[in-house]
Amino acid sequence: MGNDILIELKNIKKVYDQDTLVVEDFNLEIKKGEFVTLLGPSGCGKTTILRMLGGFDKPTEGTILLDGVDITDLAPNQRPINTVFQKYALFPHLNVYDNVAFGLKLKNMTKFERDKKVRKVLELVDLEGFEKRSIHTLSGGQQQRIAIARAIVNEPEVLLLDECLSALDYKMRKEMQLELKSMHKQLGITFIFVTHDQEEALTMSDKIVVMADGEIQQIGTPEEIYNEPANLFVADFIGESNIFHGRMTGPKKAFFCGAEFNCVDPYQKGTVIDAVIRPEDIKITEVEKGQITGEVLSADFKGTFYNVVVRSGKTEIEANSLKYYEPGTEVGMKIAADNIHIIPYDNSINHYDGMVYGYHEGKGLQVAFADFTWYVEPERVFPGASVKDGVVVDASGNAIRVDDVRVEAYIAPTDMKLSDDAEEGVITGNIVSFLYVDDHYTYTVRTKSEEDYVVDDVDLWNQEDFVSLVIPEDKVTFRVVRS
C-alpha cells in the first residue's frame, strides 16, 4: 500500500435548503488503495460526503482534491470514480450484459474488447454466463454483485459503496463483506464504504471515520476506534460499553463506581472524567477478590459467553463471562489498568452564549440565551449588584452597564428533567442521542432552533422521542463574559 494521498477533502461544509446543516468542518485524507469506511448513525452526513465524492452533490464550501487536482465542481461522468448505489440502481430495461457494459459502451471500445472485459468482471463477481439474464430474475445478492461489476468494469481509481450490503440478509452480508475485502485486495483501488453497521466497518476497513451530526468524531484503524474511543459517542456507538462518571484521584488513578482504579491515561488529578470499559474486559471474581462487588441481576446466554448484568450500589455493570452466574449471587469484579479507557468530561455542554438587554423596572434584567429570553434578578448576573432608583449598581454603588453585555448561561444536566407533557416544560425538542452512565441515562435533546440540551434522567426514553424540557429557572447560572 502506497503512502501517497489520493483524495483530500478540505473544510467541507454542506447546507441543504439554505438552513439545514448536514456536514460541517469535514477534513479527510484518503490514501491510494485504502479501504475507508464512513460510519455513523443515519442522518450523520456520511452519505452526503459520499455523494459529494461521486459528484452528485456539490459542497456549499470547501474543496475536494483527487491526486492534487480540484474536482469539486466536476460532473459525475468526468470523475474516475464509480459508485455502487444503495439499492443497486441497475437498469431494469437492460439485461446483465448491457448493464455491465453501460459504461464501456459510452467509451470508444471495440465490441471484442468490451465483451472480454464484461466476461472478466462477471468472473470476478462469480456470475459468469449471466450475460443474457434479465435483472428481474436475479436475487438480491446477485444484483449486488452485478452492481459492483458494473462499477469496477470501468476501472475507476476510487469505488464508492453506499450502504450497499444493508439490503442483504445476515449470512449473505457476512459473505459479501469478505468478498468485498478480497476484491479490494485483488483490484488494489481505493474503496470508500458507507455504513451504519459498526461490525461491518470493523471487519472490512483499513481506516474508519466515525461521524455523528455532520462532524467527524474520530478517525482511526478499527483497533484504535474500538480500544481508544475519542469520546463517549464513539465508545457507545462501537461495540458494547460501560460508562462511568468520575474523577482523577492521582496520576494514572481514577475514582468511579465507588472505588479507585489504576489506569494508564495520565490526566491531571481532579479532572472530571468518564471511564469506558468493555464488558469483555470486566473479570468476574469471588467477592473478596473484586475491586468492586455487586449482585448478579441477570445472565443471558450469547452463544460463546454469558452477558452478566451486575448491580453495584445503584450502578448496573455489564460483564461478559464464560461461566454462568445465578441471579442473586454476590460477586466481585476486577478491571485491569490497561482495559480502562479514560475520556475527559466535555466541559462545554449546556453552556450557552447569551446577552443582557438592559434592566426593566419591575421585571428584572432581560437575558437572552439559547431558546429563551428571561427576566432575572440583577445579582444573578452581576454578583453583588442591586437596584437603586431603577438603575443597576454594583456593591460600591456605581452604575453597571447592563445593555448588550455578553454572558454565558449554564444549566447542570442533573437540574433538568424530561416530561412527555408539552405544557410542563419550558421548551420541547427531540432526543438525538442518549447514553447510559452509571445509574442514569444522559440524553441530548435538540430543539427546533438546533440548540442541544444535555439532561440526566433515570427514566428510559427513546431516540427521536418528542419531549418537553423542564428547566427550573433558578437553577440556571450566569457569568459575564469579558471580551
171: left (phi over 0), alpha (psi -120 to 50) or beta: alpha
Q: Which amino acid is at 348?
A: S
Q: Which is nearer to other proteins, 144 or 154 (CB)?
A: 154
Backbone phi, psi, residue 316, to 5° = -100, 130
Q: Which is nearer to other proteins, 98 or 316 (CB)?
A: 98
Min CB(103)–other proteins separation in Å: 4
Q: Which is nearer to other proteins, 96 or 402 (CB)?
A: 96
Q: Which is nearer to other proteins, 166 or 291 (CB)?
A: 166
C-alpha dihedral sign at 231, 233, 238, 241 = positive
Q: Which is nearer to other proteins, 134 or 186 (CB)?
A: 134
- CA-to-CA separations, 30 to 5, 20, 57, 60, 191, in angstroms, rounded: 6, 27, 19, 21, 10
SS3 of residue 116 by DSSP: helix
Beta bridge partners of 35: 191
From CA 38, how far away is CA 210, in angstroms rounded?
6
Q: Which is nearer to other proteins, 62 or 103 (CB)?
A: 103
Min CB(56)–other proteins separation in Å: 5
From CA 181, how far away is CA 68, in angstroms rounded?
27
Chain residues binding other proteins by CB under 8 A are 54-56, 75-77, 81-83, 85-87, 89-93, 102-103, 106-107, 132-137, 150-151, 154
Min CB(93)–other proteins separation in Å: 5
Q: Which is nearer to other proteins, 136 or 482 (CB)?
A: 136
Q: 345: which DSSP letter?
A: -
Q: Which is nearer to other proteins, 79 or 245 (CB)?
A: 79
360-390 as b/e: b if 16+ CB within 10 A: eeeebbbbbbbbbebebebebbbeebeeeee
From CA 64, how far away is CA 68, in angstroms rounded?
9
Min CB(214)–other proteins separation in Å: 22
**Whose CA is closest to 41, among 349, 344, 434, 453?**
434
Contact 461, 467 (CB under 8 A): yes
Q: Which is nearer to other proteins, 92 or 303 (CB)?
A: 92
From CA 341, how far away is CA 243, in angstroms rounded?
10
Min CB(160)–other proteins separation in Å: 9
Cell numbers 492534487 correspond to: 68
Beta bridge partners of 5: 31
Q: Which is nearer to other proteins, 143 or 241 (CB)?
A: 143
111-124 vs 140-152: helix crossing angle, rounded to 10: 130
With 0-12 CB in 10 A as exposed, 13-18 as middle and 19+ as buried, what is 395?
exposed
Q: Which is nearer to other proteins, 150 or 440 (CB)?
A: 150
Contact 279, 307 (CB under 8 A): yes
From CA 104, how far away is CA 43, in angstroms rounded?
34
HSE on the CB side for 121, CA within 13 Å?
24
Q: Which is nearer to other proteins, 152 or 431 (CB)?
A: 152
Min CB(87)–other proteins separation in Å: 7
Q: 110: which DSSP letter?
A: -
Q: 468: which DSSP letter?
A: E
